[in-house]
C-alpha cells in the first residue's frame, strides 16, 4: 500500500488523527456534522484508506464488513481539486487489495454518473438495484471481480 507507482498518489491506512484533514477535503463533511462524526469513527476503527500527494490527503475510501459480513466500499471521496487524475481508481485498487472477504460490494445512486463510469471502467459489475433509500434516485449495487481481491479471493456466486 504505501508505495507510489507511476506518479500516482500514495495510499496508506488512516490514523485516528487523520480525521480532521479528511473532513477538510470532503465537501459533504463541510456541511454535515454526521459525516464528520462518521469519518472520525471510521478512522478510529481502521476502516479508512487515504490517498496522499505531497504528504497531504487528496482522497479516501472506507472499507467495512457490515454488508452480510462481506467487504463493502462504504464511501469513496476525492477532493474536488484532485479529481480526474486517477486518485479514485488507485483508492479502489487499494480497497480491493485490502479486502479480506470473498466478495467486495459497493453502491452508488443511479444519478452518480462519475462513480458509475469508474466502476464500469475497472470491471465491477452491477448486481442489484434498491429503491427507497433516496426518493427518486435508486441505489445501484456493484460487485468487484473476485480475482482482484487481496484477502480471500473468489468464492462462488
pLDDT in tens, 74-126: 999 999 999 999 999 999 999 999 999 999 999 999 999 999 999 999 999 99
The pLDDT of residue 33? 95
Average pLDDT over all residues of the chain: 91
C-alpha triplet 112, 150, 109: angle, nearest 5°: 10
Closest C-alpha to 106, from 90, 127, 122, 89: 127
Helix (H, G, I), strand (E, B) or coil at 4: coil
For residues 25 and 79, the answer to whether their CB atoms sit within 8 Å is: yes
Average pLDDT over residues 151-156: 50
Query: Can you say how many angstroms the Cα of residue 146 is from the centroid of all Cα atoms in its chain?
Result: 17
Closest CA relative to residue 59, chosen from 48, 67, 51, 71: 51
- Rounded to two decimals, the pTM is 0.88
3-state secondary structure of 81: helix
Q: Is the pLDDT of residue 35 over 90?
A: yes
The domains located in the chain, with CATH, are 10-148 (3.40.630.30)
pLDDT band at 156 (very low <50, low <70, confident <90, very high): very low
In this structure, are strands 56-67 and 104-109 parallel, antiparallel, or unpaired?
unpaired
pLDDT of residue 7: 65
Amino acid at each position: 500500500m504505501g508505495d507510489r507507482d507511476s506518479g500516482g498518489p500514495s495510499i496508506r491506512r488512516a490514523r485516528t488523527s487523520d480525521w480532521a484533514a479528511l473532513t477538510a477535503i470532503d465537501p459533504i463533511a463541510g456541511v454535515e456534522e454526521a459525516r464528520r462524526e462518521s469519518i472520525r469513527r471510521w478512522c478510529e476503527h481502521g476502516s479508512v484508506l487515504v490517498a496522499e500527494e505531497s504528504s497531504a490527503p487528496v482522497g479516501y475510501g472506507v472499507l467495512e464488513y457490515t454488508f452480510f459480513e462481506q467487504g463493502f466500499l462504504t464511501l469513496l471521496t476525492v477532493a474536488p481539486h484532485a479529481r480526474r487524475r486517477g486518485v479514485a481508481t488507485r483508492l479502489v485498487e487499494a480497497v480491493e487489495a485490502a479486502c479480506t472477504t470473498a466478495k467486495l460490494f459497493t453502491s452508488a445512486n443511479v444519478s452518480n454518473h462519475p462513480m458509475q463510469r469508474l466502476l464500469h471502467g475497472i470491471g465491477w459489475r452491477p448486481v442489484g438495484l434498491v429503491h427507497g433509500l433516496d426518493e427518486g434516485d435508486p441505489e445501484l449495487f456493484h460487485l468487484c471481480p473476485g480475482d482482484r481481491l487481496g484477502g480471500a479471493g473468489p468464492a462462488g456466486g
